[in-house]
């Protein structure tokens, strides 16, 4: 296994190598696609379990809609087709014959789900409809990177219909709060939330809320979005119902995708270090690895204590691996599991056993001897500590990358050379927004606050603060 590229000098290469070396994913023999290997997929399953529970607790139900969508559906909503048509993969032949109407591999499912909503929705009594689906989608992207942007990626997409605009807006905001909760309390990634500009919003949305994080290299990553969908969708799909007054009405729609396999990339880029991955304990497939340290004369005794520790930890719901491979040195094992970001390592040898102790070493560098009788409680405490420290550390990094600047001229040099998130004012004119293109930067989001009087670019009054950054 080659050493990882330097994280400070070559972040992009460091990232790619971590993905492959720690066996999260491998390149697939299809343009822009990856194979998500068991270790990577287990992280995704953990993320999915956390969010799926909350999706259900907030009153949504999972369902499954077809992968293939008639091409004409995509064309019904003008801004939607404009946004997605350059990226579509199209099935033109099926069962040995040319299809009369081509089928698109879903890039997102608004159209087919809205078509079904129209079939199901008759009366205000049928509202709200609150559906979610876990699936993969395909977008033919020019440049791809493992997890961050792949031709096929996995996600959840929630789709809801409501009687009033207020209810729809409350839904879109509530789900954004759930995503922030996932990021903060499970992924240990602090985020910035706000609204997308007209230019950056979802193709077919009236409003898009977003949550964004700043990676260690100072670039922003859009983690997920929640949309108030244009009522135009309800109209083109003829989604009419009888309202409380007996009149025909159109529902108000939302869609939201807060979790995609991109989040695995966010975890890598937020927490990783020169030794490799660092996984937040709450989503780590392996939370604890036990490395027994023995010679042939005490092997049996050390292994039996190690097995006992493993059993104890399983009993208190810790996900644990015992690395008892006799062909590897402890040092090789340390390296192996550090690369894979296992949050806590237990070292146990003859001398530890004599003192009824084990050494707990966390992935952030803290090492302690603990009494074997308290091993479960100590491990739980250490896991909680690591989770907390990762969040605090990431929060400090975010703050150090977050600058307040009144004018573009003041931050353009730094933006270009070091990245970072620049909070500034904006007049909400597209011309000023377009100016950022020259520096390959974008408005990541509009903030709900207004702390600047004047636009970052022109002399007009600022309407709201924004975050400007280069993004993945």
Contacts with a copy of itself by CB under 8 A lie at 26, 28-30, 33-38, 40-42, 44-45, 61-70, 73, 85-96, 102-103, 105, 112, 115-116, 119-120, 131, 135-136, 138, 140, 142, 151-152, 154
- What are the structure tokens assigned to 459, written together? 């002399």
For residues 435 and 467, is the Cβ–Cβ distance under 8 A? no
* Closer by beta carbon to a copy of itself, 63 or else 434: 63
- On the question of a cis peptide bond just before residue 153, with omega within 30 degrees of 0, the verdict is no
CA separation (Å) from 115 to 80, 85, 255?
15, 19, 14
- Which of residues 69 and 446 has its CB atom nearest to a copy of itself in the complex? 69
| Nearer to a copy of itself among residue 120 and residue 166 (C-beta) | 120
C-alpha span between 373 and 125 (Å, rounded): 58
Q: Which of 33/303 has CB closer to a copy of itself?
A: 33
CA distance to 44, 182, 365, 384, 465, per residue, from 50 (Å):
10, 8, 28, 17, 32
Q: What is the DSSP letter of 273?
A: B
**Residue 234 or 441 with smaller CB distance to a copy of itself:** 234
Q: Which of 70, 131, 63 is nearest to 104 (CA)?
A: 70
- Per the listing, tokens 């907390």 go with 388
Helix (H, G, I), strand (E, B) or coil at 62: strand
CB of 64 to a copy of itself, least distance (A): 4
> Whole-number minimum distance, CB 118 to a copy of itself, in Å?
11
Give min distance, CB of 130 to a copy of itself, in A. Answer: 9
Distance, CA of 173 to CA of 58 (rounded, Å) = 12
CA distance 28 to 32: 8
CB of 126 to a copy of itself, least distance (A): 12
> Least distance in Å: CB of 95 to a copy of itself?
3
Q: How far is the CB of 287 from a copy of itself (least distance, A)?
A: 16
Closer residue to a copy of itself, CB minimum distance, 101 or 245: 101
Q: Which is nearer to a copy of itself, 44 or 209 (CB)?
A: 44
Nearer Cβ to a copy of itself (42/463) = 42
Indicate the residue among 115 and 209 with the shorter CB distance to a copy of itself: 115
Please state, in angstroms and rounded to a whole number, the distance separating the CA atoms of residues 472 and 198.
19
CB 99 within 8 A of CB 69: no
User: Please, what is the minimum distance in Å from the beta carbon of residue 43 to a copy of itself?
Assistant: 11
Identify which of 52, 71, 49, 68 has the alpha carbon closest to the alpha carbon of residue 60.
52
Distance CA 194, CA 210 (A): 6
Min dist CB 254 to a copy of itself, Å, is 17
Dist. CA 273–CA 282, nearest whole Å: 19
CB of 38 to a copy of itself, least distance (A): 4
User: Is 282 exposed, middle or buried (CB count within 10 Å of its CB: 0-12, 13-18, 19+)?
Assistant: buried
């Amino acid at each position: 296994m080659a050493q990882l590229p330097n994280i400070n000098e070559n972040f992009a290469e460091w990232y790619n190598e971590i993905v492959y070396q720690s066996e999260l994913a491998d390149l697939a023999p299809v343009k822009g696609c990856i194979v998500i290997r068991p270790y990577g997929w287990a992280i995704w399953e953990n993320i999915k379990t956390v969010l799926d529970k909350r999706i259900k607790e907030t009153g949504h139900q999972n369902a499954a809609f077809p992968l293939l969508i008639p091409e004409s559906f995509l064309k019904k909503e003008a801004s939607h087709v404009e946004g997605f048509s350059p990226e579509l993969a199209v099935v033109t032949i099926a069962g040995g014959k040319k299809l009369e109407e081509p089928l698109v591999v879903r890039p997102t499912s608004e159209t087919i789900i809205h078509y079904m909503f129209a079939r199901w929705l008759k009366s205000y009594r049928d509202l709200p409809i609150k559906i979610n689906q876990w699936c993969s989608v395909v977008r033919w992207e020019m440049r791809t990177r493992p997890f961050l942007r792949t031709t096929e990626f996995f996600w959840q997409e929630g789709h809801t219909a409501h009687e009033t605009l207020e209810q729809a807006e409350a839904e879109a905001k509530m789900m954004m709060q759930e995503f922030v909760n996932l990021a903060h309390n499970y992924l240990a990634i602090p985020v910035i939330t706000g609204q997308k500009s007209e230019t950056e919003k979802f193709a077919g949305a009236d409003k898009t809320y977003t949550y964004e994080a700043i990676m260690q290299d100072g670039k922003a990553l859009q983690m997920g979005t929640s949309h108030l969908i244009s009522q135009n969708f309800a109209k083109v799909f003829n989604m009419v119902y009888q309202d409380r007054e007996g009149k025909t009405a159109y529902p108000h729609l939302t869609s939201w995708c807060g979790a995609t396999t991109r989040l695995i990339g966010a975890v890598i880029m937020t927490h990783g270090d020169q030794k490799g991955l660092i996984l937040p304990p709450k989503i780590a497939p392996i939370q604890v690895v036990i490395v027994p340290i023995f010679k042939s004369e005490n092997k049996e005794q050390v292994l039996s204590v190690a097995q006992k520790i493993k059993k104890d930890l399983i009993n208190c719901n810790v996900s644990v691996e015992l690395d008892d491979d006799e062909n590897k040195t402890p040092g090789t094992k340390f390296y192996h599991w550090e690369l894979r970001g296992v949050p806590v390592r237990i070292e146990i040898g003859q001398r530890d056993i004599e003192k009824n102790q084990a050494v707990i070493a966390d992935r952030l560098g803290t090492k302690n001897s603990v009494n074997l009788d308290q091993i479960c409680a100590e491990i739980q405490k250490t896991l909680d500590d690591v989770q907390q420290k990762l969040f605090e550390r990431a929060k400090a990094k975010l703050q150090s990358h977050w600058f307040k600047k009144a004018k573009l001229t003041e931050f353009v040099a730094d933006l270009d050379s070091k990245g970072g998130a620049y909070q500034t004012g904006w007049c909400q004119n597209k011309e000023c927004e377009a100016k950022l293109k020259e520096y390959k930067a974008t408005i990541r989001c509009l903030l709900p606050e207004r702390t600047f009087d004047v636009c970052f670019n022109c002399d007009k009054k600022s309407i709201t603060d924004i975050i400007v950054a280069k993004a993945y």
